[in-house]
Homo-oligomer: A and B are copies of this chain.
Amino acid sequence: MTTTQLHQQILEKKSFLCVGLDVDLEKIPPHLLKEEDPIFAFAKAIIDATHDLCVAYKPNTAFFEAYGVKGWVALEKIINYLNENYPNHFTIADAKRGDIGNTSTRYAKAFFEDLNFDSVTIAPYMGRDSVEPFLEFDGKYAILLALTSNRGAADFQMTESQQGNLLFEDVLRKTQDYKDSDRLMYVVGATKASSLTEVRKIVPDSFLLAPGVGAQGGSLKEVYKYGKNELVGLLINSSRGIIYASNGEDFAEKAREKAKELQEQMAELLG
């Protein structure tokens, strides 16, 4: 999937919503636990109930790895279900991977070839040769952590260099020089909307994935105001706020309502 196609989807659906699939067996409706594969059953119901309101789905791999082989099987089923039934959705493996060159190539193959995700989130700490192996795949994207939405982001990402740049700004700037950097997107937390002006000065054209709207307190309007570009260039992620709106029999319906609320706000912003 290309960013042009993603932009097209955003315009058609009047939505730049990404639904985060952080499936936690302790939080899903108890009646699903008697299903053969409760993780998949839950994710499938959420997807079926929200697909027309969002343009992307983002399973966080941690929630699947926590269940070992069973979790990995469920993740495979989910990405296959998405690719078969909703091929126009942009899929993100939220894995935050990154390793030395030949090892990053392994991760890239795992997520792009074996699982056939459109994109994967990666961590920038190890630099160029840990990132570039993810950029070698046509129609696939690496979404690099730049400025995250958690409190700990201040520990290193906001460190100012001798040259007067914050570390996350250096990450944006330097990675733009990497080979095939047009296949890079960036994570910029919605809780840091005011920083988006600086971000856009450095990466005017890149798509940004913004977690933190809703549960973490970020404002959709602010993110749109400071973060949008000519292709809209934003994916706003919401996970818990949507998928755990109810843990009763009506969970999918309630998830749809929450997704619909966000989609309607987005439609208004898109005009």
| B-binding residues in A (CB < 8 A) | 22, 60, 62-63, 65-69, 72-73, 76, 94, 96-101, 103-104, 106-107, 109-110, 114-115, 123-131, 145, 148-157, 159-162, 167, 170-171, 174
Alpha-carbon gap, A39 to B159, bound state (A): 42
Enumerate the 4 nearest inter-chain pairs by beta-carbon distance, A residue then B residue, closest first.
A127-B152, A127-B155, A62-B106, A128-B152
Copies, count: 2
Is there an interface contact between A72 and B68, defined as CB atoms closer than 8 Å? yes
List the B residue with the shortest CB-CB distance to A149.
B100
Alpha-carbon gap, A213 to B225, bound state (A): 50
Q: A94-B99, A124-B156, A125-B125 are in contact. List 6 more A-B contacts (CB 8 A).
A: A22-B103, A126-B153, A128-B152, A129-B150, A160-B161, A160-B162
Is there an interface contact between A150 and B110, defined as CB atoms closer than 8 Å? no
Alpha-carbon gap, A68 to B109, bound state (A): 10
With A69-B69, A123-B96, A145-B126 already in contact, the answer to whether A63 and B106 are too (CB < 8 A) is: yes
Query: What are 27 inter-chain pairs, A to B, with CB distance below 8 A?
Result: A22-B103, A60-B103, A62-B107, A66-B110, A66-B114, A68-B72, A68-B115, A94-B99, A96-B97, A98-B123, A100-B149, A101-B150, A124-B125, A124-B156, A125-B157, A126-B157, A127-B151, A127-B152, A128-B151, A129-B150, A131-B152, A156-B170, A156-B174, A159-B167, A160-B162, A161-B161, A162-B162
